Amino acid sequence: MLVFILLVPGFLSFHPRHSYAQWSAWIGQPAISIAVFVFFTALLSHMWVGLRDVLFDYARPAGVRRFLLGAVAMVLLGIAAWVLWILFRARI
CA 15, 20, 23, 28: dihedral to nearest 10 degrees? -150
Q: How many CA atoms lie within 13 A of 87 on its CB side?
A: 19
Q: What predicted TM-score, i.e. pTM, was given to this entire model?
A: 0.87
The pLDDT tens digits of the residues spanning 12-71 come to: 999 999 998 898 899 999 999 999 999 999 999 999 999 999 999 999 999 999 999 999
Residues 6+ apart with CB under 8 A from 31: none
For residue 24, give the nearest of 91, 82, 79 by alpha carbon: 91
Q: How many CA atoms lie within 13 A of 24 on its CB side?
A: 9
| Distance of alpha carbon 77 from alpha carbon 70, whole angstroms | 10
pLDDT range class, residue 78, cuts 50, 70, 90: very high
pLDDT given for residue 90 in this prediction = 86
Amino acid at 92: I
- Domain residue limits, the chain: 30-92
